Amino acid sequence: MEINVAQNILNENEHLALENQKLFQAKKVFVINLLGSPGSGKTTLVEKILTYFAGRYRIGVIEGDLFTTKDADRIEKLTKDVVQINTSGGCHLDANMVRKTLQSFDLEKIDLLIIENVGNLVCPAEFYLGEDVKVVLLSTPEGDDKPLKYPLIFKEAATVIISKIDLLTATNFSLENAVNDIKTLNPQVPIFPLCVTKDEGMEKLYTWLEERLQTKKC
Amino acid sequence: MEINVAQNILNENEHLALENQKLFQAKKVFVINLLGSPGSGKTTLVEKILTYFAGRYRIGVIEGDLFTTKDADRIEKLTKDVVQINTSGGCHLDANMVRKTLQSFDLEKIDLLIIENVGNLVCPAEFYLGEDVKVVLLSTPEGDDKPLKYPLIFKEAATVIISKIDLLTATNFSLENAVNDIKTLNPQVPIFPLCVTKDEGMEKLYTWLEERLQTKKC
């Protein structure tokens, strides 16, 4: 009984997500579902991407949080193409929440849509939103044991970013262990260790992203 | 329809949690539901508490994770009174999971039971397990904006620990902002800024805990 209800909710979500996906495909918008723990650096990464690609690509942002417009307020300084979703306590975004925001964007003109999900390594991984790729952040202070403890989100990732590498020496995070565990779960996934605030290691991520933006446009 | 199902799950959980609570009360076990993001320092704190109170109080530990026995393996070096719960992908512990582990403990002899919940600032706050108190960790690398973004867990806390204060200068975390926001949500809550790994600021937490253990024994 409970399982059926859960399955129905997931099936209904999948249906709406595929509708979102079709729309993104038709409008040639490349869509990232950005995932990670609270404080892993998602919003700061979005700010950097907006700054780096400014003038070359038009980027829309959907900010997901339980409450507050803190993240959208930050992003609004860099683009007007931003919408805050408040889940009112919900632990993840779903396809319907995303669908309802899409009328706020001129999708014909948007090249990249970044959906910053609720800070949570568990539930957001279970709900497809219609995105092209999931990008997962793991910050060094969280510890290198997290990939095997939260495997689904790392299995689903098209890219894993190991953020806050400036704190490597201040923590007991082993980059080698983390990379090995992520590769065990997801052998082909590109992994980018970087420090967003200090612009360290960002080039490879930008190149990875630009290749996908170019492909989508064709 | 969906809401009713969710309410039934929560009601059933509440019922089982109250049974757990009665049992803990009868056995005079003080029970902590330990909450925080992935990597906020929960397991390391449990290790320190076990070491500090060794020989004076008998402490049981329930470790909650989606997968792996990594945390229980760490705790087992300090006590045999430890059980790992794997939720197999579930985002929180519930009262039934806890209830099923209780036969593994000699509750007559246990003074303190620490239940380390799944690393998640959202879902675990919604499920009462029968505990006396919720203790919430917020680590400085997560950012000082988290209390207002995840208010429920901070409202429910009997104590908030701001962990990893050794990283204060390496992050843009404002202790003042965090404390103000937590006090807005939960005016009376004691807040302990500390660094678990370096034993900084631990005394006040130990005193707070010992007072409760003494009261429970009477």
pLDDT of residue A3: 55
pLDDT at B92 over 60: yes
How distant is the Cα of A148 from the closest Cα of chain B, in angstroms?
7
The token pair at A16 is: 């709406």
Q: Please determine, for residue B133, whether its predicted confidence score (pLDDT) is greater than 90.
A: yes
pLDDT, mean over chain B: 96
Q: Identify the residue whose tokens are 């004691």.
A: B190
Q: What is the pLDDT of residue A9?
A: 82
First to last CA, chain B: 46
The enclosing H or E element of B32 equals strand B30-36
Distance from CA of A26 to the nearest CA of B (A): 33
Decide if pLDDT at B86 tops 70. yes
pTM above 0.80, yes or no: yes
Query: What pLDDT digit, counting tens, does each position of A165-211 carry?
Result: 999 999 999 999 999 999 999 999 999 999 999 999 999 999 999 99
Give the number of A-B residue pairs with CB atoms closer than 8 Å: 111
Please tell me the predicted confidence (pLDDT) of residue B217.
77
Q: Can you tell me the distance from the alpha carbon of B201 to that of B7, in angstroms, rounded to the nearest whole number?
A: 41
Whole-number Å distance between alpha carbons of A4 and A178 = 36
Q: Residues for chain A: how many in total?
A: 218
Q: What is the pLDDT of residue B3?
A: 54
Cα nearest neighbour of B141 on chain A? A39
By Cβ distance, the residue of B2, B68, B143 closest to A9 is B2
